[in-house]
Each structure stands twice: as C-alpha cells, then as structure tokens.
Chain A
C-alpha cells in the first residue's frame, strides 16, 4: 500500500487561549502546539495497515511550531518518509491548506498510485472552514469517508467502518485511491521511547518540498474572535477535599440519588 498520513498541529487547549490585538485571531505568543488528536489516530492506523499489508508510509505536514518533533516521532514509530512543506500553517484556512496539499499530491514527491490511501484526522478543533479530509478529496477528485474507525483493504478497494451516533457504525466499500478521515485507530496510538526519537533525529532527515503558498489564507470573513461568556456558571464548591465531599453528598441527597 501507498500510505500518506497528513499531520496537523493545533493549539493545546489545556493552556489558556487568548485573542490577539486584532481581535480576529489567536494570540500566538504563549501558544503551545500539539498534534491534532484524530491525526495521532490516523498515524496509528497507517502503522497498523503497513504492518499488515506492507508498503510505504509517508507523513506530511505544513510548517508549524514543534512540527519537526512530531515528524521525527512518526519516523521513530515506523513511517518511511517524513515531508515538511514550508508553508506556514498559522492563519491558513482548511480550503487553502487543502490547496497546498493538493499541489503536493500533484508533484513527483507525492505520487498517488492505485493503492494509495490519504489519511488525515477526521476533524480538528480549528476547522472553521470545514474538515481537511473532504476538502482534500474534493481538490483531488477522490472518494472520501469521514469519522472512520476501521480500515480493511483488499483488491483495489477498502472496507471502512464509519461511526454514526449512539454506538451505531456502518461498513462502506470504497474504491482506491481514496481519502479517509480517521477518527480512531483500531488500537490506541503506540508509545515510542524518547531515546528512539533522539536516535532517529540523528540518523533520519525530514524532506522539504517547496510549494507556492496560497494567495488567500482564508475564505471566510472573520469579524471577531472572543472568549465565550458563561451563560450560567456552575455553583462552585470550595474547601478542603473532605469539606467538598460533604457538600457533594448533600447535593447527591438533594437530587434523591442517595
């Protein structure tokens, strides 16, 4: 198989997020970045597919803070190639990002063969213009399935499992090549020791593929960004853990569950 995993960095929401002075974007000064959660699963799913069916696995990312670490980690986990496209991801909408990636897949560095799967994460927390997977599928005129939680390739197609709601899922048959938005891998993402990542940093290289940056970063007209005002803030219970537990017992009793 010819597997491409598309990796995207997103702000770590564990940190406090602030709006910048222009009122239309995130303040990047103290922003910490991490790999988008579903992308972590896309990476794992590709590793599983490579182990089962063989082939070549390439991870691709646009430029963003800490992205080199993520690419080296992917190599340490078993990816064959890591590609960085030096187009800054900051402020780039999904449509523009898909255009840049579509140009990569039109180049010699990103050949799409009949046994190719493009595996982005199913969605990201900053997908204001929509998810990358369907945008990319539209740009490349490839079939697409999203919210995928299982992939079984055979005979030029793949049987994929898509999540609906309430635990209901369904199987679809998809002709290859295709774009699958991965929600969760068949197994939890693997851990790779830091020492192994360090070793890979010394022995392996990240390829750079230069592409023209898009002239328009975002299609949408953002009027402003702001923090939500709590509609109804929770009644906060304070004190030492013992006192809090006493108060919670009263709340549970009041709600007739004890």
Chain B
C-alpha cells in the first residue's frame, strides 16, 4: 500500500480557490506515478457543499464542523495530522497563499515530516519525489528530494495549470470527524477591500510602478502616462507600504489580480508575489535598470534603462501619436 496523497482544498467565502485545482492537478500526476490514492480535504461547514467540484480526487474527505471555519493554522494542522493517520497519507499538498500560511510549518513540527516551501514543479524518481522551489525572489531555484516521498509541500500559486485539476466527475465523499481543541485565535470579521477611486481590475492599460520609481513625487510621472493612455497606475508592495499609493492599487499576492490588455511595469523587479497578480496580462512590457531582473523572463517586451528618464518621453510620444 503506497501512502496516500492529501490535498487541503482551499476555499474562502464559499468559493474554491484556484490553487486547489493547481494542487489537485499536481497531486494527480504524482499519484499516477506512485499508484497512491489522491484525497482532497474540505474543512468547515462552509466548505462541505463544495465537495462536488473536486472530481479529480479519488475521494473527498469532509469535516463538516463550524469550528473549522476560518480556523487558525494550528487547528487546521492538528486536523490534517489526524486525517493523515486515518488515511495513511505520506504527502500533503498545501496552498502557498495568505489563507494557508503557517499550516505547513506547524504540520511539519507536529509530524516531524519536512516541509518544502515555494514549490513550482514536482517529479518522481522511483519512490522519491523531487520538488523544485523558487528562492530569493525567483532568482534561484532549488531541487529538494523527499527520498521516501513523505513530506509536506507548499505549492506556489500560478505554478501548476488550473485546468489539469478540474474534472466533470462526481467524487465519492466521506464525512470525517476530527477533534477540535478550543482555539486561541478566533475569527471576528472580514474587512472588505477599500474601494478606491479606480478599479484596477477593470482597466485596459495599467502602468505599474515598483521600488525603481524611487520617490513619491516620481509616481506622478506614471500618472501622466496612465492618463494619456486612458488607464490607471498600480503598484507592487514596496510602493504601497511606503504609502505612496492606496491599498486599492496593489497588485500581487495580498492585492489585486489583474489581466489588462497591456501591463507596463516600471521599476518592478518581478518578485513572485507581484508576478502572481499580473502574469495573465495579455501584453507585459517591463522597464528596469537591472538587466537581470526576473521580470524580463516573463515579460513580452523588455527595456533596460532609467525609468525616470523614459517615462516623460514615452508620455509625450503617446500624446503626439494620439494627436
């Protein structure tokens, strides 16, 4: 009997998150190679109705318990440990998202199994599994081997195809009971996203600015370009953290996911957290002083130059072109 593979299905407010399908697709491949069963895990009373969407799993384990709704990482890790014991699972896949952050590290401590973080690719080598993780903002990759195929893996969002995790089949559902201790972290309320003056998810053109914009005053250069293009300015995390643009303009892991026709990235290095939020833009134009910036590996067009010099020239040229 080969150890089962568990996928913690991620969901928020009654919706399955895309990362869940990425994990199911990746898990299905590993399961096929080793002959292991693939089980999806749904925790909480809000999650239970979503089981039918997880048809790629051999079985969906549902813990329909309201105490598991938005439960803290420690509670979820304890539940997963129980389920690992019940199903003889050896490999657990988790989303590398803000929702699931910390579960893997705590489950690793509880089970003494290693955690592989930032995983972008997986392959089997006999009974071993080799995972590729991206480190240092995407500048270095690391291959990590789980010799016996046992461990906990946090999957980087956007690394595996979503479609490979979807299926029209209706999976068997098994209700499971997991003991839940009184948590020391309790959900109180959602704080809805700030509605800004502009909805950056609805723009045809976005002018994104990162650390390379250097000062708050320079953001105006990007505003000028966005204005002549009929688009809006957005930013990566460092610019938002400085308070130079409101939270509603943040693109990336904690911020918005955008898919404009054209995304211009000025002074954005292309850290994975930002890339996650704009990788599906139809055309990505990156401008950066660092020729080795990771953003050039994914962008369609690249320019190595001083963004502060280029911005006003480009604004003038666009204005002239539009007449």
Contact = CB atoms under 8 A, between A and B. Distances in A.
A80 interface: no
Contacts of B262: 252, 255, 257
Interface stretch (A64-72, A81-89, A107-115, A126-134): A126-134
Contacts of B292: 16
Given A135-B105, A171-B189, A235-B302, A126 B139 contact: no
Interface in B253-268: 253-257, 261-262
B42 to A, nearest CB: 18
Nearest to B248: A167
B250 interface: yes
B127 interface: no
Interface stretch (B53-61, B110-118, B171-179): B110-118
Interface stretch (A53-61, A155-163, A198-206): A155-163
Majority secondary structure, A binding face: mixed
B138 interface: yes
A168 B261 contact: no
B313 A131 contact: no
Nearest to A218: B114
A165 B313 contact: no
B144 A221 contact: yes
A130 B104 contact: yes
Interface SS of B by simple majority: mixed
A134 B102 contact: yes
A138 B109 contact: yes
A147 B314 CA distance: 37
B73 interface: yes
B243 interface: yes
A211 interface: no
A241 B309 CA distance: 7
A236 B117 contact: no
Interface residues of B, number: 100
A195 interface: no
A16 B321 CA distance: 39
Interface in A142-175: 143-147, 159, 161-175
Contacts of B231: 257
B202 interface: no
B82 interface: no
Contacts of B106: 134-135, 137-138, 144
A17 B297 CA distance: 16
Interface stretch (B23-31, B83-91, B283-291): B283-291
Interface of B: 12, 70, 72-74, 97-99, 101-106, 108-110, 114-118, 130, 133-147, 154, 183-194, 204-205, 229-231, 237-238, 241-243, 247-248, 250, 253-257, 261-262, 269, 282-286, 290, 292, 294, 296-306, 309-310, 313-314, 316-318, 321-322
16 contacts: A122-B101, A128-B144, A131-B101, A138-B106, A144-B102, A144-B185, A147-B254, A165-B99, A165-B253, A165-B257, A167-B254, A168-B12, A168-B193, A241-B305, A253-B321, A255-B261
Interface of A: 10-11, 13-14, 16-17, 19, 26, 37, 41, 94-95, 122-123, 125-131, 133-135, 137-139, 143-147, 159, 161-175, 178, 181, 183-184, 187-188, 219-228, 230-237, 241-242, 244-246, 248-249, 251-253, 255-258
